[in-house]
Structure formats: C-alpha cells, structure tokens
Structure 1
Amino acid sequence: MKELLGIQLKNWLISGGITEYWAIILQSIIAIFIVIIIAWICDIIAKKVLVSIVTKLVRKTKTSWDDILLERKVFSKIAHFAPAVIIYSSAGMIDHEGLNNFIQNSAYVYMVILAIMLIDTFVNAGSDIYNTMSISKTRPIKGFLQLVKIFFYSMGLISITALIFDKNPFNIVAGMGAFAAVILLIFKDTILGFVASIQLSANKMVNIGDWISMPSKGADGIVIDISLNTVKVQNWDKTISTIPTYALVSESFTNWKGMEDSGGRRIKRHLNIDVKSIHFLSDEEIEQFEKIRLLKDYMIEKKKEIQTNNPEGEIPVNQRRLTNIGTFRKYVEAYLQDHPKIHNEMTFLVRQLQVSEKGLPLEIYVFANDQEWANYEAIQSDIFDHILSIVPEFNLRVFQNPTGDDFRKLANEV
C-alpha cells in the first residue's frame, strides 16, 4: 500500500511534465514531509493524550506499584514508540532504495535503543516495587536485576551490530565463542560477583542494614547497598567503603546482626590487680565489708560457713579464710547484677585469668541491654569508673607500670 502510494505520487508528478529524475526527488521530499507530519501527530497523541489519561487513572488507584511505574516514566517511554513505528512502517513511500533502507534501519536502531531503555526502566521499577516488600530486607535482588540488564543490553547490541553488518544475529552469537576467553577476562568481576551474590543471598550471609566489619578492606559500618559487583558500607565515621561482592565470600568478615537480634551487646574488659596487694581478710575488714549493702548477705553467709567448718585451735594455714580479691570479685558480680543496664539473661561472668607479669587479670564478661554505640560506651565507662574507684576500699591495688612520677617519688624518699 505504501509503495503503491509512492508510485502513484511519482506518476502524478511525471504526468505534470516533470522529468522522472526530479519526480523521484520531489516524491521522496513530499513522502518524508508527510511521514514527519504523521509521526509528529502520533507523538502528540501518545504523549499529550494517552499518557495524560493513563496518569489520571494511575493517580486514582489505591495500589502503589502503578505509581512507581509512573514515577519511573515507563508510560512516557512507551509513547516514544509511536513516531518510531510510523517512520519505520512508512519508509516504503519513498521511491529511493538507498534512502528507504537508511530510514528503516535508523528507525529500527532507534526502536531497539528505546526497547533497551524501556526494559531498563521496567527493571528499575520492579526493583522499587520489590523494595517495598518486607522480604527485600533479607533477600536483595539488585545483583540479579543488574545481570538481567546486562543480558538485554548485550542482545540489543548484537541486534544493532547484525543490522549494520547485514548478518544473522545467531551467527554473531555463535562467532563470539572464539572470544570467550576475552569475554571471561572482561567480565571476570561480574561473573564472580554474580556467583557471590547467589551465595550471599542463599546463605543469608549479609543484608542491607547489617552491621559488618572487614578490617582487610577498611570497612566497619552499615551495609547500604548490595550490587552485582560491589557492596557499599557506610562506616561509623560516615565514609563509604566499597568492597567487591566476591570478597565477602572469599575472605572473612564479621556480621554483627546476631548481636543486634539478641538484644544485648558484649562488654569484655579486664583490669590487672597487683598480686602483692592480695591477702586474707582480717576480722576488722570482715566487719567493714558486712556494712556494704551489696556484700552484706554474702559476708554473713560466708562468716557462718567459716565458723562451722573451722575447728577451734586449728592453725590459720589449715583454716578456711576469706580473701580480699575473692570478696572484691563477689562485690563486682553483685554490682553488675544490680546494674539496670546489664542484661542478666545473657552470659554473665566475672572471672580471673592467668596471672602474668602484669598482675592478676580480673575480667568482666557481660552484656549491656542497650546496643546504641554511644550509650553502650557510656555504660561500660561508668562501670569501670566505679570499679577502679572502689578497688582501694578492698585494700587492693591496680597494677600499673612505673612512670617517671613513681621514680621521682622513690628518689625523694631515698
């Protein structure tokens, strides 16, 4: 039909006394002008009328997914196909084979590019819709969507290449096997990232919002993005660390999500007690410690136990006796159990470690019930402020390497 109209127009110009050469040129100009007018009208109808109607309908619906499609301008991109289709289908009106093929090929390439852009937009909209679901917190799919984009971009590139060189697309794909090694080298990170993304997602190793630390990559903070090739971590100092996705599978890292889900945050610190300050309690010290509220019940119980098990006349070395370090340890336990910010349903230890040249380490291994970083640091600081200040009350000394001031005092004494 299009070719027939072109021939009729050319014959009409020839019958008017115009030579065939000029008739073909005029016919082509008129045909191009008509096609442009029709394409312009279709573009206006598609963008101004149809898109406006669709926009109004979307605004009235209660669902959110169509609003996302509208925000991503999916319907506007679909409207771009209208003039392209008109130009491609009307190219036959031009009675010039070279110009006809050029316009058709150009329209075809334009439609392929539009199709790729539309698919890209659809994928992005699908990602936005998926992110509104609760499952997106534990099953990120950004890496898979990026792989889909790469596939369609590759198909579009192959289609355009096949058109330009007038080859069968399947032959081009088959011929790419010879460049498989080069392709593997170019897309090495993408392939490794894709495999790693599957492992991370399937094994629930890391999700957006998790706190991870990976010293080898300088990362310690919250995961803000997981893509096909990289994982972005916002560190506590607000810097951004970018980690290759496959590094999270091939190397070790710490995910603190288990701690966050537990409701507590571990406090593990110790102080070194000077061994020379450790001794048995005297009767005066026992009476003094009985006045301490947190030790009162313990001291009364131990005093009765000692009186029951120690026969009269037994030499001190054979008797059961209380020590200041043991009493201090019980005080620390009672103090922590009475502390409102300590999680008493999780691991709770106040223990002695191996004696070293720096004294006897007394380790506190408990969990705070507040996980916020600033609050957590304040809690453990307050605890050790109190413990370090109360040590002298038990006639104990915290071990500390001698400083210049210690040597100065010793010299003055001498």
Structure 2
Amino acid sequence: MRRHRKTPKSKGERGVIILLVAIILLFVVGAMAVLAIDFVTFYTARSEAQIAADGAALAGARVMANSGSTSRPSAFIEALAHTLASNAATQVAAQNKVGGRNLNPAEVTVTFPPTIGTEYNPRVRVVVARNDLPTFFARIFGSAQVAVTATATAEAYNPSGNALALGAGGPIAPVCAKPWLLPNLDPTGSGNPIFNASGTIFNNSLSGQSWLLEDACDSCTGVLNKAAGKYFPAAIDPTGTDPQQFVEPTQSLPLAAAGLSSYQKGVAGCVPQPITCGLNANFKIDLNIYTPTSGIDRNTDTIDAAKVLIHDNGADGDSDSIDPLAVPSPPFQYLAGNANTVAGAAGQNILVSNSLVNVPVFKDQGAVTTSPVQVIGFLQLFLNPQGTTMTGTKINATIINMAGCGDLATGQPILGTGASAIPVRLVSNQ
C-alpha cells in the first residue's frame, strides 16, 4: 500500500486562525460596546418617561381628590373634574425631560379608566410617548430613531365608595389631621349623620356647604355634650408614646408658630402621625384644664394658630381662597393668596393649599360623649374660603370631601399624603 506523506505547513501560516478569530472578536466586542451606549440611552429615557408618567398620573388623581368630586360624583361634575385633572397631568408631564428634552403636550395622553363598582374612586391613566429618540450607533443598522413609551395609573381612593359598592369600606390614615374631633352630625344642623355605619356618605350634597367651626368646650373637664359642627380638642402627647393621642408637630413649623402651645402647634403645623379610622381607631379627648396662650380662650387660640397655618397676616387676600367660579359645588379650584409661600403663585390656580385640612369624625355615642372616641371618617375642609382676614372666634369652613371608613373597618390602612383626606396612589395599569 502506498503511503501518503503529509505536507508540512509553512511556518508563515501558523497561528493565522487564532489571529482571525481575535480580529473578529475585536469587531464583535467593539460593536457590542457601541450598541451598549444606545441601550443605556434608551434605558435612561425609558426610566425618565416612567417618572414623568407616574408624576403626571399622581397629579391628575390629586386634582380629582382635592376637587371634591369623589364625595359628590355625577356625570357633569366628573366631566369638569376630568378636564382639570387632564390639564394638570399634562402640565406636570411636560415639565419632565425624556431623552434630553422636555415632553411636548402632544406626547402626553390622559384617559380616565372606568372604576369597578363605584365612581367614588376615580382613576387617571397617563401614557407618555416619545417617538423620535435619536440613536448614535444603531443607525448603522438602519435605525436612526426609536420610540420610548411609559404608562402609569393613579387612583384617588375614597373608602366611602368601596363601602357603597362592596358593603364595607377600608381604613385610611391621612397625615396632618387637625386636633379637632367632630361628632358624626351634619355640621350645618340638619340633625342627620355625616356617615352611615358602613362608611357611606349620608348626604353627599354636603360637599360645598359651609359653617362656622368652633369648640364644644374650652376646658373639657365636665360632662361632654356634643353639638353639630363643634369639635372636642384631641389630647396631644408631646412625647409621642400614647397611640391614642395626637403627636405634637416639631418639624417644618412656620416661624410664626414660635411661642404657641402644643394644641396650637397641632393646628398651625402638620401632625406627622397618620390618624386612622375604623374599628380600633380610638383617640382621647383633652380633658385637662386649658390655659389659653392668648389669655382669652381656646377659640381665640385656634384663630391665632389658624392664621399662622393659612398665612393670614392681617390683610384681605393674604390667604388662599376657593375660586368663586367653582362654588358652591365640586369640582373646586383654589387660588393662591398674596402671602402664599410659592414665589409668583399669587392669584394663580394651585393644586394644594395650606387652607385644606383634615378633620377626624367620631362615632356618635348618644347624648353624652366619653373619651376615647372612635374615629370613623374624615372631613376635608377649606378654612376661610373667601381669603379675607379672619376675625372673631369662629372659623368659616367649607366641606370639600367626606371619607368614611365605617364602624367596623379593619385591615392595613391606606396612608394619605399631605392635607387630603383622600389618599392618592399608583395602581396597576390593568
């Protein structure tokens, strides 16, 4: 058999394949590196779009909550509130940069998904879409621009609506509640309750009604006789160790709050403790002898503290007001006063106001009230709605929202933010 001899390769060909592989890998790695720049740019823009959508949806839901439309829904009121919410959401989204520039209003779509079982918990859905995000290196593959979109849905949650639809409301826990415990009686004097036992609103036409708010007792040391529209002062614990007492504000107090009593600081500042409602939401009434800072009485102290809260410096127009074109029914709009702390806001529409406050409502115990009382809901009030300087010893208060948890509400409460009795939260986009 004839043997074939292998022809030895020349020394110059040795290692050629390794060199070619190395060169190819260099190009592949280089291509991946430059494409990674586009990927990071796209990912960053996608995150920016989501932040814009989240903020816009929350702003729209906040308008729905503070407009009072969750307490007095109707097709007409909802249509007006939707317009306000859509404008606010679009403005907030347009203030955000996506891919190096601010979004255009045309790149923001606001819709209002139907809610399940009740219109008391309106939802706002925002889609932001930028379709011209430039690429750097992906264009070598024919892609000069890419699209970035993000969607967010926010809800204004009123537990009274859940009680209406499901037979039982869920608890909420707003912050910045004022140390005023109101009985579950129509403050305008009809004799009817504000909330039914389930947490539903007895008469939603109370939204937009006003009355003169005052205390039921200066020093509540004797028999506690309730009266419609008159509050019992909540007990305040400066140490914050008693869960049945309000916590004294210690941070972010106005400079004018210096020298105020613990009670007055609770009025002028923000009680940081979330105040919940429902089955186990029991809070104590201040049963001690009250020594007024003003040297007169608690009502005078309340007026002095409320002036600090709403920036009433003694001149008409200092404090915020309800837009007169929006009363006496929702959706409400608010105008910044001359002393509003936001620069350049005076006379402009605003989403939130220090004049908006949360006030707990407690369950009726009968002819005589005993401490502690069970909080079953909240009124969101606008103090001094005309914006004139406050005089006398009573506060003109307008009902914006009513949120009832019911007598038996249990479970993890939904935390509120700011001075709204209606929590606003992001929910699933489904």
Q: TM > 0.5 between the two?
A: no
TM-score, structure 2 length as denominator?
A: 0.22
> Hey, which of these two has a bigger chunk of helix by percent?
1
Decide which structure has the larger Cα Rg and report it: 1
More strand by share: 2
Report 1 or 2 for greater relative contact order, CA contacts < 8 Å, sequence distance ≥ 6. 2
**Scaled by the length of structure 1, what TM-score is found?**
0.23
